[in-house]
Structure 1
């Protein structure tokens, strides 16, 4: 079982999650593992990293996993990088970790 504790931080408005994204993957998957060195959760997206398609796919996938609207998921760092920080509004750290554990099984 993966541990995602170091990749999820609580904020006054929700949580931030550190991601290690692979765009253009064969299938979308989240969480798709854990990068211990970067302390980030691996995320695979089928959308290509062109014209913001991968970023939109990430926000859609995370909104579905955490049960929030797409507007509650914001990429706050790494818009053009495979390393991203995402903010999810209205979600506690404990709820986020529970969602990750459930989605990862």
Structure 2
């Protein structure tokens, strides 16, 4: 399954995943505590999405947007 997510790095509320149907750019918003430095926020996104969908971290892959706040992500093992 491929999804588009909006990332909120450095969030005090994180880590958690919020469903945002009103956001035209993304289907989920991922709040992570990690800052967007040296890929730390991307790792936080992978951990948060894996926990949200109940899959292994290896099943979550960032396809596009490694340096952007809006990312295209593949989540394996979810139908």
- Answer with 1 or 2: which has the greater Rg: 1
SS across alignment from 1:31: strand
Q: Which structure has the highest helix share of the two?
A: 1
In the alignment, structure 1 segments of 5+ residues that lack a partner are: 1-14, 93-105
**Matching residue of 1:17:** 3
In the alignment, structure 2 segments of 5+ residues that lack a partner are: none
**Number of paired residues?**
78
TM-score under structure 2 length normalisation:
0.88
> RMSD of the TM alignment (CA)?
1.4
Which structure 1 residue ranges, 4+ long, deviate > 2 Å from structure 2?
A: 32-37
TM-score under structure 1 length normalisation:
0.68
1:58 aligns with 2:45: yes
**Matching residue of 2:54:** 67
